[in-house]
Chain A
Amino acid sequence: MASKKKKTTPEQLKYQQLQQKHELKRPVLKNCIKAFFVGGLICMICQAVSFFYIYYFNFTEQTAGNPTVATMVFFSMLLTGFGVYDRLGQFAGAGSAVPVTGFGNAVISAAIEHRTEGLVLGVGGNMFKLAGAVILFGVVSAFFVALIKTLLGVWGVL
């Protein structure tokens, strides 16, 4: 960073100063509040879906997580297809991207984007462009956590 600054010409520096003067300040607190409430609302809907599975089907609190996640991903895929989730994403930012619904959005939006390139190389090849990283790191971290837990169990710590 420092070496880059050294190379900047006086005109560039002047321009940077001018840019900083006119640059709009990001409303960080406002964005955080929006993300908090929208993320919370999504989680509340997840809880309601989870209670629905507990109440009407033979799922316990522990096992209801799987169908709940599947349902929420399905909902977010539909909303992405209808163009609603994109607007929600613009409004709430991380609030809509961090919950599991953001995963569904990442999958389907990539699929829609590359639809013109064909079904196999376009949709198939690019569908997990972003979500692939989530799955990979999720699986790898789950493996290591399970390994640590097993070892601690064998050693009698847990």
Chain B
Amino acid sequence: MKKIYISCTLVGFIFLASGCNPHARQEDSGMTLLKKTNSSPIQLSTMNSSKEVQDIKKDVSSLPEIYDVAVIKGKKDTLVVYKVKHLQRFRMKKIEKKLNTLLEKKYPDDKFSVSSDYKIFLEAERLRKKIKDAHVTKKKAEKELQSIIKLKDETT
């Protein structure tokens, strides 16, 4: 019994200590799965104005079921990833359909890849951070975006 108490206290201390992160205010993709990131949208091609990606993010965020959105616009494809509020997760398919029709209606010329998967959100966030820190060239970023879109379509 004593051992159980000791191990419980130890686990409690670990949880407490993990809360005391000195870099908590910095942007960290590690917490993407648990926290709201509200990241700025990224545009890889210089052909269009950056206002369009801002608009896409604003439109997607306007849906009441969604609480976090990441947008990455490549040369041809635009990746839109979002997180759905917990109790609304029962209606995931309907929300995706609603979002698809909204985007197709408003931006008929763009090709969208829409996903609510945490992994895709995490990868989009990692790519955004790499671009922001200038760790990748535009060409490599485009390649990574394509691999994220490919990962999104994987089912098994």
Chain A residues with a Cβ under 8 A of chain B = 51, 54-55, 58-64
For B151, give the chain A residue with the smallest CB separation. A60
B122 at the interface (CB under 8 A from A): yes
Binds A, one of B10-18, B56-64, B113-121, B131-139: B113-121
CA distance A58 to B33 in the complex (A): 15
Residues of A within 8 A of B120 (CB): 60
CA distance A61 to B154 in the complex (A): 11
Instruction: Given the known inter-chain contacts A54-B118, A54-B122, please indicate yes or no for A60 contacting B152, CB distance below 8 A.
Output: yes
Would you list 25 pairs from A and B whose C-beta atoms are within 8 A, ordered by A residue? A51-B33, A51-B118, A54-B118, A54-B119, A54-B122, A55-B30, A55-B33, A55-B122, A58-B151, A59-B119, A60-B117, A60-B119, A60-B120, A60-B151, A60-B152, A60-B154, A61-B117, A61-B118, A61-B119, A62-B117, A62-B155, A63-B154, A63-B155, A63-B156, A64-B119
Q: Tell me the dominant secondary structure on chain B's binding face.
A: helix
Q: How many A-B residue contacts, CB cutoff 8 Å?
A: 27
For B118, give the chain A residue with the smallest CB separation. A61
Chain B residues with a Cβ under 8 A of chain A = 30, 33, 117-120, 122, 151-152, 154-156
Would you give the shortest CB distance from B37 to chain A, in whole angstroms? 15
CA distance A18 to B154 in the complex (A): 64
Residues of A within 8 A of B154 (CB): 60, 62-63
Residues of B within 8 A of A54 (CB): 33, 118-119, 122
Residues of B within 8 A of A58 (CB): 151
Residues of A within 8 A of B155 (CB): 62-63
For A50, give the chain B residue with the smallest CB separation. B118
For B34, give the chain A residue with the smallest CB separation. A51
Residues of A within 8 A of B151 (CB): 58, 60
Q: A59-B119, A60-B151 known; 5 other A-B pairs, CB under 8 Å?
A: A54-B122, A61-B117, A63-B154, A63-B156, A64-B119
Residues of A within 8 A of B122 (CB): 54-55
Residues of A within 8 A of B118 (CB): 51, 54, 61
CA distance A67 to B151 in the complex (A): 17
Would you give the shortest CB distance from A142 to chain B, in whole angstroms? 15
Question: Sorted from nearest, which 5 A-B pairs have the closest CB atoms?
Answer: A60-B119, A61-B117, A54-B119, A60-B117, A61-B118
